[in-house]
Amino acid sequence: MLTPGGGSTPSTPTPTPTPSGATSVKVRFATATATPPTGYLADWGQPYGARTSAGQGSGRSYGWVRDGSSTAVDLTLNGRLRTGTPTLDTRLTGVMHMDWRGGTTGTRGAGSWEMAVPNGLYSVTLSVGDAGDYFDSVDQVSIENQNAVARFVPSDEDRFRTAVRTVQVSDGRLTLSPRGGTNTKINFVEVEPVPASPDRPQVASVTPVNLTTGATRDISVTAGLAVTAGGIATSTLTRETVRLSVAADGSSVPANVNTSGGGDVIVLTPDAPLVAGTTYRFDVTSTVRDVSGNAFHPWSSVFTVGTASEGTGITGVAFDQVATTATGQGFTSVAMGPDGKLYAATLDGYLFRYPVAADGSLGTGERIDTIRTLAGGARTVIGLAFDPAATAADPILWVTENRKYVGVSDVPDWTGKIVRLSGAALQNGQDVVVGLPRSARDHESNSLAFKDGMLYLTQGSNTAMGAPDSSWEFRSESLLSAAVLRLDPAKLPATLPLDVKTAEGGTYNPFAPGAALTLYATGVRNAYDLIWHSNGRLYVPTNGSARGGAFPATPATLPSSCASRIDGAWTGPRAPGVGSNPVDETDWVFKVAQGGYYGHPNPSRCEWVFNGGNPTSAQDAFEATAYPVGVLPDRNYRKADVFDAGLHASANGVIEYLGDGFGGALKGKLIVVRYSASQDLMVLDPSGADGTIVNRTLGVVGFKGFDQPLDVAQHAASGSIYVTELGGRKITRLVPRG
> For position 358, what pLDDT does the model report?
98
> For position 19, what pLDDT does the model report?
65
Pick from 208, 194, 242: nearest CA to 24 = 194
SS3 319: strand
Cα distances (angstroms) measured from residue 682 to each of 145, 170, 541: 31, 37, 11
Which helix (H) or strand (E) segment is 373 a member of?
Answer: helix 370-375
> For position 15, what pLDDT does the model report?
47
Buried b or exposed e, range 44-64, using 16+ CB within 10 angstroms: bbbebeebeeeebbeebebbb
Give the sheet arrangement for strand 202-207, strand by strand.
Answer: 202-207, 221-226, 265-270, 255-259
Q: Going by C-beta distance under 8 Å and a sequence separation of 6 or more, which residues neighbour residue 572?
A: 632, 635
> For position 20, what pLDDT does the model report?
59
Residue 691: φ, ψ to 5°:
80, 15
Bridge pairing between strands 139-143 and 146-152: antiparallel
> For position 197, what pLDDT does the model report?
66
Cα distances (angstroms) measured from residue 668 to each of 314, 479, 656: 14, 35, 6
Buried b or exposed e, range 9-34, using 16+ CB within 10 angstroms: ebbbbbbeebbeebeebbbbbbbeeb
Confirm or reject CATH 3.30.420.40 for domain 1-15+24-194, answering yes or no. no
What average pLDDT score do residues 657-682 get? 95
Question: What single string gives the DSSP state of each residue in 171-204?
Answer: SSEEEEE-TT-BS-EEEEEEEEEPPSSS---EEE
SS3 77: helix
Which region, left, alpha or beta, applies to residue 514 given φ > 0 means left and ψ of -120 to 50 means alpha? left
Instruction: Categorize the per-residue pLDDT at 275 as very low, low, confident or very high, splitting at 50, 70 and 90.
Output: very high
DSSP state of 699: -
Pick from 708, 704, 711, 702: nearest CA to 661 = 702
pTM given for the model? 0.85
Highest mean pLDDT among 83-97, 248-262, 716-730: 716-730
> For position 22, what pLDDT does the model report?
76
Q: Kindly tell me if the per-residue pLDDT of 82 is higher than 90.
A: yes
> For position 11, what pLDDT does the model report?
37
Q: Going by C-beta distance under 8 Å and a sequence separation of 6 or more, which residues neighbour residue 456?
A: 448, 449, 450, 484, 485, 486, 487, 520, 530, 532, 538
Pick from 502, 473, 466: nearest CA to 485 = 502
Give the sheet arrangement for strand 586-592, strand by strand.
Answer: 531-532, 538-542, 586-592, 642-647
The answer to whether the CB of 262 falls within 8 A of the CB of 442 is yes
> For position 323, what pLDDT does the model report?
98
Confirm or reject CATH 3.40.50.300 for domain 319-705+731-736, answering yes or no. no
What average pLDDT score do residues 567-585 get? 95
The answer to whether the CB of 601 falls within 8 A of the CB of 551 is yes
What average pLDDT does the chain have?
94
The percentage of the chain sitting over the pLDDT mark of 70, rounded to a whole number, equals 96
> For position 10, what pLDDT does the model report?
36
> For position 18, what pLDDT does the model report?
56
pLDDT digits (tens, 9 = 90+) for 447-495: 999 999 999 999 999 999 999 998 888 999 999 999 999 999 999 999 9
Q: Kindly tell me if the per-residue pLDDT of 16 is higher than 50.
A: no
> For position 634, what pLDDT does the model report?
98
What average pLDDT score do residues 499-506 get? 97
Residue 352: φ, ψ to 5°:
-125, 145
pLDDT digits (tens, 9 = 90+) for 229-240: 778 898 999 999
Higher pLDDT, residue 441 or 361: 361
Higher pLDDT, residue 195 or 135: 135
CA angle 615, 619, 625 (to 5 degrees): 65
Q: Kindly tell me if the per-residue pLDDT of 437 is higher than 70.
A: yes
> For position 420, what pLDDT does the model report?
99
What average pLDDT score do residues 17-32 get? 83
Q: Kindly tell me if the per-residue pLDDT of 534 is higher than 70.
A: yes
The percentage of the chain sitting over the pLDDT mark of 90, rounded to a whole number, equals 87
> For position 7, what pLDDT does the model report?
37
Q: Is the link from the previous residue into 686 a cis peptide, with omega within 30 of 0?
A: no
Instruction: Categorize the per-residue pLDDT at 624 as very low, low, confident or very high, splitting at 50, 70 and 90.
Output: very high
> For position 439, what pLDDT does the model report?
95
Higher pLDDT, residue 1 or 44: 44
The answer to whether the CB of 562 falls within 8 A of the CB of 569 is yes
Distance CA 123, CA 480 (A): 45
What average pLDDT score do residues 143-170 get? 94
Instruction: Categorize the per-residue pLDDT at 21 as very low, low, confident or very high, splitting at 50, 70 and 90.
Output: low
> For position 8, what pLDDT does the model report?
35
Alpha-carbon Rg for the chain, nearest whole angstrom, is: 28
* Domain ranges within the chain, ordered by starting residue: 1-15+24-194, 319-705+731-736
> For position 17, what pLDDT does the model report?
52
Q: Kindly tell me if the per-residue pLDDT of 3 is higher than 50.
A: no
